[in-house]
């Protein structure tokens, strides 16, 4: 369970990106967060693993209060929470396998990870993660040589290698074309359904959100404007979240038909 309690983030410079947010996410749920650019989606997601500290209020992941953790405990929490990025954030110049093994860093002794001396178990786990996203055949290829969709699958595998209980994805399909976007979303859904990992995804395409989400949270100006099942989020709701009528830019398929 993830619980935001009056969570507020004010950045240096005075922008309030999260404004007294109260949200509770039970284990195993697939949650999609929508909102305009600047609405605070990334901030919400990054508060979960402590990449962005709260200004006031609390975030709890399980029984851990993120703001109260020591450095070491914070690293342990991050190891337990996988993250997927818009620009994949892979190390281009090394192999896919090495990228995935990055997900194991917190679980191996520091000196061994320095030498790159991974145990057989770690490599096995990395390989299995690659198998989940069906890209194990590329294990020894340099990440730079993969297509965008393939790179994002490696990103997912890296997060899975952490054996996380929570998965965060910050606009995981924003750099991909429509068919690839669906493919990546399906992998996320599969991971959520089959492995029971709580999943939080930021999206700005409404149709994608409605198609994959158990639950949609709509943000605007750092406040929760909507919180309910995907099926309940109709056009009216989206217009309220966005504060304007919808355009072709807000849906993925419109782009595809261009």
As measured in angstroms, the least distance from the Cβ of 193 to Mg ion is 26
User: Residues 54-65, buried b or exposed e (16+ Cβ, 10 A)?
Assistant: beebebbbeebe
The verdict on 172 binding ligand ATP (CB under 6 A) reads no
The verdict on 58 binding another protein (CB under 8 A) reads no
Partner whose footprint covers residue 10, from another protein, Mg ion, ligand ATP, none (CB < 5 to 8 Å by kind): none
Residue whose CB is nearest to Mg ion in the complex, by number: 42
Binder of another protein out of 36, 69, 141, 254 (CB under 8 A)? 141
Q: What is the CB-side half-sphere exposure of residue 132 using CA atoms within 13 A?
A: 28
Contacts of 31 (CB under 8 A, 6+ apart): 25, 198, 199, 200, 201, 213, 214, 215, 216, 217
**Strand 56-61 versus strand 64-65 pairing type:** antiparallel
Q: In 3D, which of 55, 65, 91, 79 has the Cα closest to residue 2?
A: 65
Element (H, E) at 8: strand 2-10
As measured in angstroms, the least distance from the Cβ of 12 to ligand ATP is 6
Judged by CB under 8 A, the stretch of 1-9, 62-70, 85-93, 239-247 that binds another protein is: 85-93
Binder of another protein out of 7, 132, 173, 216 (CB under 8 A)? 132
Q: Which residues bind another protein (CB under 8 A)?
A: 49, 51, 74-83, 85, 87-94, 98, 101-103, 105-106, 110, 113-114, 116, 127, 131-142, 144-150, 153, 155, 158-159, 162, 168, 177, 179-180, 182-183, 186-187, 189-190, 193-194
């Amino acid at each position: 369970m993830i619980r935001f309690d009056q969570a507020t983030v004010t950045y240096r410079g005075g922008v309030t990106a999260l404004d007294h947010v109260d949200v509770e996410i039970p284990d195993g749920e697939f949650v999609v967060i929508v909102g305009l650019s600047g609405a605070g989606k990334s901030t919400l997601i990054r508060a979960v693993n402590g990449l962005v500290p709260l200004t006031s209020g609390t975030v709890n992941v399980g029984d851990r209060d993120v703001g109260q953790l020591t450095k070491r405990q914070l690293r342990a929490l991050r190891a337990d929470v996988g993250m997927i990025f818009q620009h994949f954030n892979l190390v281009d110049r090394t192999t896919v396998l090495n990228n995935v093994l990055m997900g194991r860093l917190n679980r191996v002794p520091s000196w061994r990870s320095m030498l790159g001396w991974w145990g057989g178990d770690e490599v096995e786990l990395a390989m299995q993660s690659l198998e989940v996203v069906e890209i194990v055949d590329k294990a020894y290829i340099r990440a730079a040589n993969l297509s965008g969709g393939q790179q994002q699958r490696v990103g997912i595998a890296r997060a899975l290698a952490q054996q996380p209980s929570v998965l965060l994805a910050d606009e995981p399909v924003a750099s991909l074309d429509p068919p690839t976007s669906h493919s990546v979303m399906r992998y996320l859904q599969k991971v959520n359904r089959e492995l029971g990992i709580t999943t939080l995804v930021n999206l700005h395409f409404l149709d994608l959100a409605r198609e994959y989400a158990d639950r949609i949270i709509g943000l605007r100006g750092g406040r929760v404007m909507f919180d309910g099942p995907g099926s309940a989020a109709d056009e009216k709701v989206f217009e309220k979240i966005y504060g304007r009528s919808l355009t072709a830019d807000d849906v993925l398929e419109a782009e595809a038909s261009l």
